[in-house]
Structure 1
Amino acid sequence: MRVLGGRWRIVLVYYLLEGTKRFSDLRRAVPRISQRMLTLDLRALEEAGLVSRTVHPGIPARVDYALTEEGRRLRAVVDVLAEAGERLGKPQGAAAGP
């Protein structure tokens, strides 16, 4: 919980499960996160060994973020949370569906 307990960290893992993303891709995917918080959360996930950061030289430098093997192991947890969120997000009395 210490590593994933932040407001946005599990959301970032969710989007990184789709594949490698650039910083700007993650900003677009999670528009309510501030640039500072995105940077801090990515660093924390990197320090925990869940995310790898690759810097490609150039002007400007391109930075890619991807889940490590350990980060990809969180898929089951993220899937359960996403399913629960969808279920809980339905209005009361809504028909259950796929």
Structure 2
Amino acid sequence: MKEITAEQVKLVVSQGKSINILDVREVDEAASGKISGAVNIPLGLIESRMNELDKSKEYIMVCRSGARSGRATKFLDTQGFNVMNMTGGMLSWEGNVV
């Protein structure tokens, strides 16, 4: 499984580069603050909503601690998506949230 640190994600975001962040926390968790531009699809809905994702794009998976996003990363990888897990999740995120 490919991984990226919260610090690396913060650097990419601060440079204004276009990235696709998928937040797999529950709706109420994401509503309390997520990385700018992140799309929220709770882990339990990933399989039924993966048709909304584009296999030609790279996605960074995020959750609270990195466990749920790790499961989502493994699942989507088996489905042919280009995904990586943000280690440590939002607990490691020191950037701005919206």
TM-score (ref. length: structure 2): 0.31
Higher gyration radius (CA): 1
Q: Which of the pair is proportionally richer in helix?
A: 1
TM-score (norm 1): 0.31
Which structure carries more relative contact order (alpha carbon 8 Å, separation 6+)?
A: 2
